[in-house]
Amino acid sequence: MLVSPRGYCAGVEAAVKTLAWTVVLYDPPVYCVHAIVHNEDVVARFERLGVVFVDDVDDVPAGGTVVLSAHGSAPDVVQRARRRADVVVDAVCPLVTKVHRELRARLAAGDTVLYAGRAGHDEAEGTLAIDSTVELVESPHDLAAVRPPSTRVALLSQTTLSEHEWSAFVQEAHDRFLSVWTPPTADLCFATTNRQRALQRAAGSCDTTIVVGSASSSNVASLVTIARELCANVHRVGGPEEIPPGVGGDVAVTAGASTPESAVRAVVEHLAPSDDVEELVVTDETNQFALPRPVRESLRTRHEAGALPRALAEAACDPGLAADVLLDLVESEVARSGPNR
**Catalytic residue positions, numbered:** 123
CB 333 within 8 A of CB 311: yes
CB 90 within 8 A of CB 78: yes
The whole-angstrom separation of Cα 123 and Cα 331 is 28
Q: Is the peptide bond before 5 cis (omega within 30 degrees of 0)?
A: yes
Dihedral of the CA atoms 151, 123, 157, 320 (nearest 10)?
Answer: 140
